[in-house]
Copies of this chain bind each other. A is one copy, B any other.
Amino acid sequence: MNTQPHDHIVKSYDEERQRLIGEILRMGEMSAAQLEAALDVVERRDDKAAARIIGNDEAIDTLEQEVSHDVMKLALRGPMARDLREILAALRIASDIERIGDYAANVAKRSTALNASPPLPHTRGLNALGQLVVRQVRDVLAAFAANDADAAQRVRAQDAEVDTLYTGLFRELLTYMMEDARAITPCTHLLFMAKNLERIGDHATNIAENVWFLVHGDDALPPRDKRDETNVAT
Minimum CB distance partner of A99 in chain B: B99
Bound: A195/B191 CA distance, A: 12
Contact yes or no, A234 B117, CB < 8 A: yes
Is A145 in contact with chain B by the CB < 8 A criterion?
no
8 A Cβ contacts from A58-102 to B: 68, 71-72, 75-76, 78-79, 81, 84-85, 88, 91-92, 95
Bound: A231/B76 CA distance, A: 41
**Residues of B contacting A110 with CB < 8 Å?**
231-232
**Residues of B contacting A85 with CB < 8 Å?**
72
**Residues of B contacting A192 with CB < 8 Å?**
195, 231
Number of copies of this protein chain within its complex: 2
How many chain A residues sit at the interface, stated as a range, is 35 or more
Bound: A76/B78 CA distance, A: 6
Query: Known contacts A84-B75, A116-B234: does B195 contact A184 (CB below 8 Å)?
Result: no
Is A146 in contact with chain B by the CB < 8 A criterion?
no
Is A221 in contact with chain B by the CB < 8 A criterion?
no
Is A233 in contact with chain B by the CB < 8 A criterion?
yes
**Residues of B contacting A188 with CB < 8 Å?**
174, 177, 188, 191
**Residues of B contacting A95 with CB < 8 Å?**
92, 95
Contact yes or no, A113 B178, CB < 8 A: no
Bound: A138/B234 CA distance, A: 33
Is A112 in contact with chain B by the CB < 8 A criterion?
yes
Residue in A78, A106, A188 with the greatest tally of chain B CB atoms within 10 Å = A188
Is A181 in contact with chain B by the CB < 8 A criterion?
yes
Contact yes or no, B81 A72, CB < 8 A: yes
**Residues of B contacting A18 with CB < 8 Å?**
none
**Residues of B contacting A117 with CB < 8 Å?**
234
**Residues of B contacting A189 with CB < 8 Å?**
233
- CB-defined A-B contacts under 8 Å, sample of 16: A71-B88, A72-B81, A72-B84, A72-B85, A75-B88, A76-B84, A78-B78, A91-B91, A110-B232, A113-B231, A113-B234, A177-B181, A178-B184, A181-B181, A188-B191, A192-B231
7 closest residue pairs by CB, A with B: A116-B234, A78-B78, A113-B232, A109-B231, A178-B181, A177-B184, A113-B234
